[in-house]
Structure 1
Amino acid sequence: MRHGARRGRAVAVAAALLALAAGSAPAAQYEPGKGLVARPQQDFVAPAPGTYRLPPIQHAADGWVLDGDWLPRRLSRYTRGALTLLSFVYTYCTDPIGCPLAFETFVDLRERVRTDPLLKGRVRLVSLSFDPTHDTPAQMQLYGGTYARDRDVPWAFLTTYSVRFLKPILDGFGQDVEVELDADGQPTRTLTHLLKVFLIDERGRVREIYSAAFLQPEVMLNDLRTLALESAARRR
């Protein structure tokens, strides 16, 4: 990772990448919310909240998005005013260390946040579609299910009007995605992308970017707590 206080994570990253390269990551079938996703295993203890810093990396990208009511809103509405975890997904993804892993991690975190006195009422989750052609607002609400309607820990399932509106957001976050081609060079419905989850503070600044190797609830929860403690200290 970027910060010296997190050197202990480097060992975990190397182990996770070696496991994936060796094909040892277990396969899994995916249904949102069913808990069937295989997670890369890590044997390390996350640094205690408040014992390290998360310097700002960049400002969160903005753009026009659609929520379940089809009304256009700025993405900044969903990335400011709360500690936010944002991931890009597409609803028909079946890669167990891709979108399904992000979904299940959010489900896990959501349950922990709702019972955490420091974080309750201060955290938001956002899932934004890579594929606005297929993932309409209605489709994203179906994908989110009951999570899209529960206000305890708000979870926004967003899409855009078209790729034209999506691309500036992807570029702003540095999130690459490609359409996979078949043996004849024709586009398929599979999207190739590097899984990233963005931790955004209350002022709309990206403070951490998680890859699959670091998509561990314990790590992410401590990062959220660290930012919450930082915000509380700033208000004193």
Structure 2
Amino acid sequence: MRRIPFVLLLVLFTLPGCHRSAPVGGSSTANSQKSFPVRGKILATDPTHVLLDHEAVPGFMDAMTMSYKLKDPSVVNELHPGDRITATILVDQDAAGFRNPQLDHIVIIGQAKPDYLPRVQYHVPQAGDDVPNFELLNQSDRLIHLSQFKGRVLLATFIYTRCQLADFCPRMSTNFAEIDKALAADPALYAKTHLLSISFDPAYDTPTVLKKYGEAYTGRFAKETFSHWDFAAPPAEKLPAMTQFFDVGVTPGDSKSLTHSLSTVLIGKDGKVVAWYPTNDWKPADVVAAVRAAAAS
């Protein structure tokens, strides 16, 4: 991994002639701002920046050590060298490329030292892990349990219906809609599979809200039976256990929004984890192939 000095990186992103080329991905807003999800480890902080050793960011840059300005500098006291985080990179875009990278929506998924360890530790799903029999209330106001899907391949993701970041919940739901249609084209495979969108906002995402949200994404609206794709939320008191098991960091944001990480998991017919997708860079076609392989095993 190539490393660039902290101060030099600040200069590179402020010089008028130093810009990256136009991206192939990311989400746009009316003011030409784009957002990219990132995962990495904090190496250093100052009052307004963090030095982040991060994984590849599709459409933005390769894995690299990079200095980022904090959109909200007040969070710096909660960040420490060695912390693992997920976050959103916000950049302005013009004809020359990207400008003014900022880090926002930071979620700490692993802290570095015992003296500031969180009260809870998140589990990172691994292939072969037994999935607990979590309970949820679905869009039809019925209690469902993950164990009822044993014998079928279950693909689950985490969302909340008020999410405004196009590359987060809306992208996950759009991907699932594409997967649902692809699986429906093979009736035998369709019968062996199920989709589940799990909300981590049970106070707002009631069965009525989830029903309308689900009908819009399946495109069947009032004709939707939800026989293959459930939209559900765990009871509030059971939500922490579920988000911790699936490594979903959720913290309150502004205007009743939630800052959160991503988590999509493929669960086999035996109720064990087959694959885990902690970012948004997976392709529906690749996941359909993984679902097909799991159903055939």
What's the TM-score, normalizing by structure 2?
0.54
Instruction: State the partner residue of 2:196.
Output: 126
Q: Does residue 1:229 correspond to 2:296, yes or no?
A: yes
Q: Give, in angstroms, the shift of residue 226 of structure 1.
A: 1.6
User: Structure 2 residue aligned with 1:82, among 152, 156, 173?
Assistant: 152
Q: Does residue 1:70 correspond to 2:141, yes or no?
A: yes
Task: Show the 5 A alignment for 1:87-236.
Answer: 87-116=157-186, 119-145=189-215, 147=218, 150=224, 154-162=228-236, 164-180=237-253, 182=254, 188-230=255-297
Contact 2:269/2:295 (<8 A) preserved: no
Contact 1:62/1:169 (<8 A) preserved: no
Give CA deviations for 1:37-63 in whole Å, capped at 9, x if unaligned.
xxxxxxxxxxxxxxxxxx834122332
Q: Given residue 158 of structure 1, which amino acid in structure 2 is its aligned partner? A: A
Query: Which segments of 5 or more consecutive residues in structure 2 lack a partner in the other structure?
Result: 1-54, 62-87, 94-125
Contact 1:125/1:153 (<8 A) preserved: no
* SS of match in other structure, 2:189: coil
Distance in structure 2 (CA, Å) of the matches to 1:153 and 1:23: 41
Identical residues among aligned pairs (%): 25
Query: Residues 211 and 23 (structure 1 numbering): CA distance in 2 closer, same or farther, change over 3 Å?
Result: farther
Distance in structure 2 (CA, Å) of the matches to 1:64 and 1:22: 36
Query: Which structure has the highest strand share of the two?
Result: 2
* SS of match in other structure, 2:256: strand
Q: Give, in angstroms, the shift of residue 138 of structure 1.
A: 1.1
Distance in structure 2 (CA, Å) of the matches to 1:24 and 1:207: 38
Give CA deviations for 1:85-115 in whole Å, capped at 9, x if unaligned.
1011111111111100110001111111111
* SS of match in other structure, 1:125: strand
Instruction: State the partner residue of 1:36.
Output: none
Task: Flag the structure with larger Rg.
Answer: 2
List structure 1 runs of 4+ shifted beyond 6 angstroms: none
Distance in structure 1 (CA, Å) of the matches to 2:144 and 2:278: 28
Q: Given residue 222 of structure 1, which amino acid in structure 2 is its aligned partner? A: A
* SS of match in other structure, 1:189: coil
Q: Given residue 93 of structure 1, which amino acid in structure 2 is its aligned partner? A: C
Give CA deviations for 1:61-91 in whole Å, capped at 9, x if unaligned.
33221123433332332x4221111011111
Distance in structure 1 (CA, Å) of the matches to 2:133 and 2:225: 23
Q: Given residue 164 of structure 2, which amino acid in structure 1 is its aligned partner? A: T
Query: Residues 24 and 102 (structure 1 numbering): CA distance in 2 closer, same or farther, change over 3 Å?
Result: farther
Q: Given residue 200 of structure 2, which amino acid in structure 1 is its aligned partner? A: F
Distance in structure 2 (CA, Å) of the matches to 1:213 and 1:145: 22
Q: Give, in angstroms, the shift of residue 15 of structure 1.
A: 5.5
Distance in structure 1 (CA, Å) of the matches to 2:203 and 2:59: 33
Instruction: State the partner residue of 2:60.
Output: 18
Query: Which segments of 5 or more consecutive residues in structure 1 lack a partner in the other structure?
Result: 1-12, 26-54, 183-187, 231-236
* SS of match in other structure, 1:218: helix
* SS of match in other structure, 2:240: helix
Distance in structure 1 (CA, Å) of the matches to 2:92 and 2:180: 28
Query: Residues 73 and 113 (structure 1 numbering): CA distance in 2 closer, same or farther, change over 3 Å?
Result: closer
Query: Residues 129 and 229 (structure 1 numbering): CA distance in 2 closer, same or farther, change over 3 Å?
Result: same
Distance in structure 1 (CA, Å) of the matches to 2:133 and 2:166: 29
Q: Given residue 199 of structure 1, which amino acid in structure 2 is its aligned partner? A: L
Q: Give, in angstroms, the shift of residue 21 of structure 1.
A: 4.9
